Amino acid sequence: MNWLQKDPLAKLRIKYKLPLSFVMVSLIAFGLGGFLIIKSVHASLSREIQTRLKSETVAQASVFDQHLLLLGRRSQDFASDGFIRTQTELLETDPQTESKTKERLINHLLINKLPIVEEFSNLLVFDNNSNLLVSVFPSDDRLRRMLSAGLGQDTLWYSPLFQSAAGNNEPQFAIVTPLINIHQTQHIGYLVCVVDFRSVINYISGQYQKAMSFSDVEKYLSFIDQTGSVLDIPWWTLNERENVALIDLNLKRPTEGYAPGANSHEGRHICRDGEDMFGYSFPLKYVNWTILVELGTSSALKTISVLEEKLFFVGLLIALLILIAMYFPVRFLIQPLSELETMAFNIKEGDYSARVVTDSEDEIGDLATSFNQMAEALEERTRVLKKTAADLTEREKVIRIQHDRLKAVVNSMNDGLILLNSAGEIVLHNQAGEPLIAYLNSPDKQLEKFECKHPEKSTARECVNCLMDISSMQDCTVKMEERFFEILATKLPAMSGGAGKILVARDITERTLMHDKHARQERLAVLGNMAAVVAHEMNSPLAAISMYNQMMMDEFDQDSQFTEHVDVIRRNTETCREIITNLLDFARTPTLNISKVDIHEVINQTIRLLVPLHEKANIAVKLYLDAEQAEIEGDLSRLKQIFANIILNAIQAVKEIGGQVRIRTSNDDDRQMIVIDVEDTGPGIDPAIVKDIFNPFFTTRGSDMGTGLGLSTGKRIAEAHGGSVILLQNRPRFTVFRIVLPFRYQGGGEFGHHSPGEKGALR
């Protein structure tokens, strides 16, 4: 019921709303009373009209019934004519005189019978088999089809309405009468009298003028035959016989849109192109037809319409008188309220000196006095607020200067600064802290822990949750996109009693890499010393074992049972010597022989060396050498060693399952480098060992398949050239190692530099 609490005229001003409300209430009361009166009169008049219409319909049906019965009797009189019966019987029994007999019979019907009844337009004689014997005027098959139901009847039969075949489309119907021979012993045929319905109407309008009342009201007389066909006759033709010839009598079939039957036109209904009508139907007694009388409600209820117009004009007059009577309330009630509204608007616009003057002592006067007191209070309060606003503006200016200074200091920091409030939301950060924020806000990015005091927090999401946790003040080191950041957490007290958190992210990538490099160099130095000692200590025993093994091979015959044992000793001795040689090569620090090298040619030479391996395993090696600049400064033999190790690993990865190895080259113009991607369709590398694949002596194959120095050696050679080797993609059916080499050699790395033309010596 909320709609009852809202003013439906809320958008109208009171000076319009009050008079209109009185007018609306008065008109509603007047209109409701008038509606009830008109409704009562309308119902009574409608009942009276329908009662009179019923009596008129019955009377009209009686008139037509009697005349149609009379036409049927005349048809039976014609059928009892002895000449017609003898001639019809003669046509059926004496074919030799058929022509003359037909001529005599047609003349008799045309001269002696047809003129007797004005309504008859044609006479026809049929035999017992429904074959046409004679016809006064020509007829068509349509008439014969219409008569098919009556030819065969033993009694008088009236046909449905049909249109004339003479070209004028006049409505007609036929009366079929059986013919009995002159001795009254047998049935010999049928006499058909075709009746012109316009003549029937003309006869009835002359005989029964003024038979109906309400002649000044628009009414319609309709005949509905047994097939549902409808013939409409305007009411005025029944009162004026001379006008019957002027009307068009159109027969409507049921398929032409007229409702079949008369039941749908009973009582008050809509028909005749949407016109509101009264109707009543009554069946004809002697013909299987229905007569329907209809009249328009607009003319029948014209008295009600005149009464409605009078009530409308009386209502307008009452509304005008009420508006005139409302002048004084509007003048002395609404106008003071309008002045109060104007005063309130001026105060809203800032004019607090506005006042309203009134000499009334009623409620309106009290309201005006209250408004004036309110305006004085607002004026005083506004004066105080302006002074307070000026003080606040000055303080805001000082705070803004301090804020700008703090912002400048924060943005000038090289370390990332992130401030979290007590709800764990980021409220302040500088530009250096944006990379860390991107990881904190995106769970899809991988945040890799490097050092943490909570080893149980193993996933990247848990690490992010720890950093965003206000209660956790643990420092940690994380890795983001190959960069290392040391994150320091500090508690930040808040004035509201809660506590925030400050995160300071310091980039320690260079320090970490330098630390790793020094650790690696120390390990290599120890490894070199150990390798030298091991090689020195192992070479002498291995030489002795190899010498005595060779002597044993010379002493045994080839078919000796010990020949296989000696061969096993030889092979394992060579394996140990190869391991010691690789160990010494990895521990030594050779110099680089720098020259101009074509990377595409280096790749092709390496592939040619590995042809026996990949062709034997039926592995396809495809080259996509798309780099526009392939010439760099580097050591040819060392570069071959890089590609040989990595391509060999790719071939061995797809050897068991079959597949492809693809080598692609491209240029990185921004960094002035060439990029070489070695792709294979193998099963990929176990994610658990990815971090160890570049460590020396790490291998996933047995000791007889490799030493685990290939990737680590290739990485050292690439870094010595100023480049790198990384695992770019690692998933089943798509593993990619990327080699990046600069166009120009910058020097440095773990290898020494040897100019072209100098000999590289091993230390």
Distance of CA 565 to the CA centre of its chain: 81
Report the relative pairing of strands 660-668 and 162-163 from DSSP bridges: unpaired
Q: Give the C-alpha separation, 231 to 656, whole Å.
A: 99
Residues of the chain with confidence (pLDDT) below 50 = 1, 210-215, 257-260, 703-704, 749-750, 752-763
Residue type, 455: P
Q: How many CB atoms lie within 10 A of CB 225?
A: 20
Is the distance from CB of 695 to CB of 724 less than 8 angstroms? Answer: no
Nearest to residue 73, comparing CAs of 6, 140, 158?
Answer: 158
Q: How many CB atoms lie within 10 A of CB 488?
A: 14
Cβ-based burial of 759 (10 A; exposed 0-12, middle 13-18, buried ≥19): exposed
Q: Give the C-alpha separation, 659 to 443, whole Å.
A: 35
All structural domains of the chain: 70-197 (3.30.450.20), 413-507 (3.30.450), 514-581 (1.10.287), 592-754 (3.30.565.10)
The pLDDT assigned to 64 comes to: 87
Distance of CA 324 to the CA centre of its chain: 59
The pLDDT assigned to 601 comes to: 92
> Six-digit token pair at 405?
């200074």
Q: How many CA atoms lie within 13 A of 194 on its CB side?
A: 24
Distances (CA, A) of 537 to 18, 509, 576, 580, 763: 121, 41, 12, 11, 19
Q: How many CB atoms lie within 10 A of CB 54?
A: 14
Q: Give the C-alpha separation, 731 to 734, whole Å.
A: 5
Contacts of 426 (CB under 8 A, 6+ apart): 418, 419, 420, 437, 440
Q: How many CB atoms lie within 10 A of CB 736?
A: 17
Q: Which 8-state DSSP code applies to residue 544?
A: H
pTM of the entire predicted model: 0.41
Q: Give the C-alpha separation, 674 to 599, whole Å.
A: 9
- Tokens 């007590």 belong to residue: 422
Q: How many CA atoms lie within 13 A of 437 on its CB side?
A: 17
Q: Give the C-alpha separation, 189 to 85, whole Å.
A: 9
The pLDDT assigned to 698 comes to: 66
